[in-house]
Amino acid sequence: MKHKLADYPFAQESDDVDIVKRQYRFGYIANIGMRPKFSGSLSSSLGHWVELQVNTLSLLVHPESPVYKVKSSPTHVVLVGHIFDALNKEFDSQKIAEKLAAYNSATKEFLGSLDSLAGRYVIFINFGRGWEVYPDAFGSKMRYFSPSHPGLVASHSSLLANACGAQLDFDMFAFISSESYRKRDVKNLPGLATEYEDVYVAPANHMLELTQMNLERFWPRHNVRHNDMELAAATFIQYLDGYSDYIAKTFDKEIFGLTGGMDSRTMLAPLLAKGVEVESFTLLRGGADNRQDLETAKQLAISFGFAHTVVNVSTEASRIQGYFADVRKALRMTGGPQRLNTIHSNDTFYRAFKDKASVNSNFSRGFGGEIIRGFFQKQGKPLKKATAEKFAGIMGINGQEEITKHYFQHFIDNLSYDKCYDADLFDIYYMEHRMSKWGANALTESDLTAHSMVGMSCRKLYEVNMGLPLDVRGTREVFKRTVQYFAPELLNIEVC
pTM above the 0.75 mark? yes
Residue 408 located in a structural domain:
no
Give the residue among 296, 233, 154 at the shortest CA–CA distance from 481. Answer: 233
Segment 212-221 mean pLDDT: 98
Which of 217, 244, 273 is the last residue in one of the domains? 217
Tell whether 402 is covered by a domain. no
CATH of the domain at 145: 3.60.20.10
Q: What pLDDT, on the 0 to 100 scale, is given for residue 7?
A: 45
Asked whether residue 421 is domain-assigned, the answer is no
State CA 221 to chain mean position distance: 22
What is the distance between the alpha carbons of residues 253 and 360, in angstroms, rounded to a whole number? 7
Task: Say how far residue 100 (Cα) sits from the centre of its chain.
Answer: 23
In a domain, 75, yes or no: yes
Residues 138-161 have pLDDT tens digits of 999 999 999 999 999 999 999 999
CB atoms within 10 A of CB 33: 11
> Domain boundary at 217, 247, 278, which?
217
Are residue 296 and residue 182 in the same domain, yes or no? no
pLDDT at 20: 79
pLDDT digits (tens, 9 = 90+) for 273-282: 999 999 999 9
Task: Tell me the mean pLDDT in the region 463-467.
Answer: 97
Model pLDDT, residue 176? 92
Are 478 and 345 members of one domain? Answer: yes
Q: Give yes or no: residues 189 and 255 share one domain.
A: no
pLDDT of residue 425 exceeding 90, the answer is: yes
- The tally of domains found in the chain comes to 2
Average pLDDT value for residue range 431-454: 96
DSSP-assigned letter for residue 248: H
Q: Pick 220 or 11 by higher pLDDT.
A: 220
> Picking from 198-207, 340-349, 357-366, 404-413, which range would have the lowest pLDDT averaged per residue?
340-349
Asked if 211 and 359 sit in the same domain, the reply is no
Burial of 358 (0-12, 13-18, 19+ CB in 10 A): exposed
Statement: residue 10 has pLDDT above 70 = no
How buried is 381 (Cβ within 10 angstroms: 0-12 exposed, 13-18 middle, 19+ buried)? exposed
Please count the helices (runs of H) and the strands (runs of E) in the chain: 21, 17
Domain that holds residue 84: 5-217
What pLDDT score was predicted for residue 491?
97
Q: Answer yes or no: do 204 and 237 share one domain.
A: no
pLDDT at 1: 39
283/216 Cα distance (integer angstroms) = 38
Q: Residue 374 and residue 424: Cα distance in Å, rounded?
A: 9
Residue 414 is assigned to a structural domain of this protein: no
Q: Has residue 184 been placed in a domain?
A: yes
Asked if the model's pLDDT at residue 371 lies above 60, the reply is yes
In a domain, 204, yes or no: yes
Largest CA-CA distance found in the chain, in angstroms, rounded? 63
Considering the domain architecture, whether residues 318 and 458 belong to the same structural domain is answered as yes
Q: In the prediction, which pLDDT does 15 show? A: 62
Mean pLDDT, all residues of the chain? 93
Domain boundary among 217, 245, 278: 217
- For 431, residues 6+ apart whose C-beta sits below 8 A from its C-beta are 138, 139, 203, 204, 205, 371, 462
Q: Which amino acid is at 434?
A: R
Question: Is residue 224 assigned to a domain?
Answer: no
Q: Specify whether the CB–CB gap between 144 and 157 falls below 8 A.
A: yes
